[in-house]
Structure 1
Amino acid sequence: MVLGQDEAERALAAARAESEQKTQARRAAAASAIGTTIEWYDFFLYNTAAALVFPHVFFPSSSTYAGVMQSFATYAVGFAARPIGAAIFGHWGDRIGRKTTLIVTLLLMGISSGVVGMLPGTAQIGVAAPLILVLLRLLQGIAIGGEWSGSVLLAMEWGDQRKRGMLGAFAQVGVPVGLVLGTGGMTLLSALVSDDAFTSWGWRIPFLASLVLVGVGLMIRLRILETPMFATVVAEKRAARNPVGDVIKKHWREILLSAGLRFSEQMPFYLFTSYVLVYVVAAHHFTKTFVLNAVLVGAALELVMIPYFARLSDRIGRKRVYLTGAIGIAVIAFPYFWLLTNGNKLVIFLAIVLAMVPHSMQYGPQASLIGESFPTHLRYGGAGLGYQLASVFAGGPAPLLAAWLFHTTETPYSISVYMVVAAAVTVLCVLLIPDRSRADITDDSVYLRAK
């Protein structure tokens, strides 16, 4: 009788534990998606403002070309800061845990963006305005540098390990959602107010709204427990004392390959969502609202495509899906700019939207492909450094280099060559990185056996 009662109690306890695990997994997925949405909302607001507003507000005495270059230079600063954020928060994420670190990154990004919305222009405070803008962009970059890997791991390390591709995509979906909200806010304001009003004060409203979103994000993240994988590392006293140093020393190859596989994903993405605002408006004199609407629809398409390709990678493998997307970028590189240059309004709109498909093929499985490349006790720092290192060489310089290439060569096809070279780098790195789509990443020995 006692044995029967004990068995029943154990079964009940197991059922409660399983129910709690599922609840936490759902919360982790939601926190991952919502947190990255808020962070990327802030980041994309800056991207759009850098293309449309900042040359007038912070660099008013420069020529049109010089103003765009200076504005995109401040934009690039945020990318250069990302590896710094990955190192700082990667250290603490692998020392004290994912949850606490992610709360700090969310606060840092939200407050920085709110201050951008209140920052006076050069006409009011002189040269201090662009200098403060650069400082705030640095803080944004540091926050994003620590955010991505933590959000990915929060979902990946809580959920069903047979669905890691899909779970990692919850953090990735935050990018198009943030783009929809950020670009959508700018689109709505540019349509509702005059150009003068938009340049004067309208652009500030979405930045200030980020402070409200941060409050929502904090409420969600405070309810999440630490991931069971990292909790096991702490319980077994396997947490590294110097995780960033250890991962650079022991997994430098995976860091470099993770950075390289992002070239054909990240660089074209910022051409598709930021530089295109400058190129199409200048080449065809279309309204800013028209181009913003096309980018907005493309981002909405990614909301469907990213989870689809992530789930597909769970079935057929990450590398197969990723390689297809990288080759797709090379294939569309020349047709894309030919259509933007020679197409009519409808053709240009479709070109901007459909360019997001090969990007989604890479971005969907990317989180799990990178995250699976590192052991649990070094995963926050390793994945973050690999992911963010690409920002220095691929994403950050992309609009700046595109503007320079077009100005220097007077042909957009020089930018197409740039895209093909990026795709070649990615294909090589994807071929070299191990595919651990079906490996047991709870067992760190799998990484030792691979050495």
Structure 2
Amino acid sequence: MSIVEPASFTEGAAASTTEIKRVVLSSVIGTAVEWYDFLIYGTATALVFNKLFFPLSDPGLSTLAAFGTYAVGFLARPLGAAIFGHYGDRIGRKTMLATTIVIMGLGTFLIGLLPTYDQIGIAAPVLLVVLRLLQGIGLGGEWGGAVLMVVESASTRNRGVLGSMVQIGWPIGNLAAIGIFAALSQVPESAFLAWAWRIPFLISIVLVGIGLYIRLQLHETPVFREIVAKNEVVKIPLAEILACHRRSFFTAIGLKLSEVTYAIVAGVFSISYVTNNLALPRSVIINAIFLAAVVALPMIPVFGWLSDRIGRKGMFYASCLFSIAFAFPMFWLLDTKDPFTITLTIVVAITFGQMIGFAVGPSWYSELFAARLRYSGASLGFQIGAAIGGLTPFAATAFMVWTGGATWLISAYLMVVAAITWLAAAVAPETARKPLN
């Protein structure tokens, strides 16, 4: 297995404090816009699409169909990672970032213009699926570039905390997505379903313009410039990864599974569960997820900082232990129907079940691969793990239909997935405080 020698000026890239701050800020803002686009779909799935695009006689089957389209976006993410990872390793990180935000924004804006099932029949859900695919492809290619812009410019001692900063785009995007839906929850139900739900999708075009402008101001990473200077650009990065770096590739997939599964159960499926199964106002669960995103803002860099101090493995072990221990209590606490208890449950689940792996992952996935293969390897491993996790709301809804409304099978599923991630963390090398290859 051939490994590129450590880039000679990777550490020097961190010498300019102003430059690294600019790279981090630009990546965070651009990623926040991308996550906003992707996450408003998840919220709308539970509140709107099951009624306007999949109006089946059985509400459970309607929700199941709607979550099926939600999963499509996750399944498309590996395709985006493969396409943009290939070109990101061949022509650079910066160009891919500008391209992906345009693709993502276009898909989101057009969803806001879609006619409903009552207006054009079966064409409505078909077009919804196509645009969701476009969203997934854009986000699938975006994440790897945004992370590498930061990780490849950071020093060894703070790569974990700086890499985690990119992930702050998720709570910012989530806060924006949940916030606008919370504001629209004041609109009467009839008006919300008639036109108000389109507003979050349509205004995304403005955010995309801002994000694109910011990303065009970035410079290419010093690591990639050196790859080009040494003539070490790989013709088909994915082929070399699958031939020579399979262990790193499958390890990255396993590391992603538990975190994304917990995120979707606590942050997406819970919306449907609390509003439909527990018959509580949608404001209860939306406010809970909103608060969880607020808590995530400071916790993400804290977890990244800790990974630089105690290592990547220890952080992942802690998250997996929590995920296993909390799998059953999470639903027991939601079933109390007490708003305060529900809020605290969602905050705890997202903070420790999702955010630890979410914060530490970017640096660890990137460190598993040599520089010339890093965009493809880290991005595709991350996105395949996310795609598998993206089936969670569909699977959870199916489990509940199968068990007659019981949640024990969902909890068991969370425990199994956490065990898989534990195993991946056990076989992965500890890379904290070591130079990038």
1:187 to 177, 182, 206: 182
Deviates more, 1:30-39 or 1:405-414: 405-414
Higher relative contact order, chain-length normalized (CA < 8 Å, sep 6+): 2
> What SS is found at the alignment partner of 2:173?
helix
**8 Å contact kept, 2:156–2:434:** no
Q: Give the match for residue 3 of structure 2.
A: none
2:246 to 242, 252, 260: 252
Q: How does 1:130-169 map to 2 (within 5 A)?
A: 130-169=125-164
> What SS is found at the alignment partner of 1:355?
helix
Q: How does 1:251-400 map to 2 (within 5 A)?
A: 251-358=245-352, 359-394=354-389, 396-400=390-394
**8 Å contact kept, 1:79–1:391:** yes
Does residue 1:121 correspond to 2:116, yes or no? yes
Q: Distance in 2 between matches of 1:139 and 1:247?
A: 26
**8 Å contact kept, 2:262–2:349:** no
**8 Å contact kept, 1:24–1:225:** no
Q: What is the CA distance between 1:343 and its match in structure 2?
A: 4.8
Q: Provide closer, same or farther for how the CA distance between residues 360 and 18 of structure 1 changes in structure 2, counting only shifts above 3 A.
A: closer
Q: Give the match for residue 216 of structure 1.
A: 210
Measured against aligned partners, the alpha-carbon deviations of 1:2-50 in whole angstroms (never above 9, x if no partner) come to: xxxxxxxxxxxxxxx9899433312210121111111110111000001
> What SS is found at the alignment partner of 1:203?
helix
> What SS is found at the alignment partner of 2:219?
coil
Measured against aligned partners, the alpha-carbon deviations of 1:302-329 in whole angstroms (never above 9, x if no partner) come to: 1111110001101111111111011111
Identity %: 42
1:102 to 90, 97, 100: 97
**Matched letter for residue 387 of structure 1:** F
**8 Å contact kept, 2:324–2:415:** yes
Q: Distance in 2 between matches of 1:53 and 1:64?
A: 12
> What SS is found at the alignment partner of 1:94?
helix
Q: Provide closer, same or farther for how the CA distance between residues 344 and 20 of structure 1 changes in structure 2, counting only shifts above 3 A.
A: closer
**8 Å contact kept, 1:301–1:356:** no
1:65 to 53, 57, 60: 60
> What SS is found at the alignment partner of 1:434?
coil
> What SS is found at the alignment partner of 2:37?
helix
Measured against aligned partners, the alpha-carbon deviations of 1:372-413 in whole angstroms (never above 9, x if no partner) come to: 00011100000011101112322x110111111112113112
Q: Distance in 2 between matches of 1:18 and 1:99?
A: 16
Q: What is the CA distance between 1:106 and its match in structure 2?
A: 0.4
Bigger-Rg structure (1/2): 1
> What SS is found at the alignment partner of 1:261?
helix
> What SS is found at the alignment partner of 2:107?
helix
Q: Distance in 1 between matches of 2:210 and 2:369?
A: 31
Q: What is the CA distance between 1:227 and its match in structure 2?
A: 0.2
Q: Give the match for residue 403 of structure 1.
A: 397
**Matched letter for residue 300 of structure 2:** I
> What SS is found at the alignment partner of 2:115?
coil
**8 Å contact kept, 1:248–1:382:** no
Q: Distance in 1 between matches of 2:428 and 2:417?
A: 17
TM-score w.r.t. the length of structure 2 is: 0.95
> What SS is found at the alignment partner of 1:302?
helix
Does residue 1:423 correspond to 2:423, yes or no? no
Measured against aligned partners, the alpha-carbon deviations of 1:211-262 in whole angstroms (never above 9, x if no partner) come to: 0001111111111100001100001110111112112222111111111111
Measured against aligned partners, the alpha-carbon deviations of 1:255-276 in whole angstroms (never above 9, x if no partner) come to: 1111111121001110111110
Q: Give the match for residue 4 of structure 1.
A: none
1:24 to 19, 23, 39: 19
**Matched letter for residue 211 of structure 2:** G
Q: Give the match for residue 37 of structure 1.
A: 32
Q: Provide closer, same or farther for how the CA distance between residues 62 and 96 of structure 1 changes in structure 2, counting only shifts above 3 A.
A: farther
Q: What is the CA distance between 1:281 and its match in structure 2?
A: 1.3
Q: Distance in 2 between matches of 1:48 and 1:18?
A: 39
**8 Å contact kept, 1:165–1:313:** yes
The two structures, once aligned, show a CA RMSD in angstroms of: 1.4
**8 Å contact kept, 1:152–1:170:** no
Q: What is the CA distance between 1:62 and its match in structure 2?
A: 3.9
| Unaligned ranges ≥5, structure 2 | 1-11
Q: What is the CA distance between 1:344 and its match in structure 2?
A: 2.1
**8 Å contact kept, 2:267–2:350:** no
| Unaligned ranges ≥5, structure 1 | 1-16, 445-451
Q: Give the match for residue 82 of structure 2.
A: 87
The count of aligned residue pairs is 424
**Matched letter for residue 69 of structure 2:** T
**8 Å contact kept, 2:13–2:153:** no
Measured against aligned partners, the alpha-carbon deviations of 1:151-207 in whole angstroms (never above 9, x if no partner) come to: 10001111223111011112211111111111111111112x111111111111111
Q: What is the CA distance between 1:341 and its match in structure 2?
A: 1.2
Q: Distance in 2 between matches of 1:392 and 1:169?
A: 21
**Matched letter for residue 342 of structure 1:** T
Q: Distance in 1 between matches of 2:385 and 2:13?
A: 39
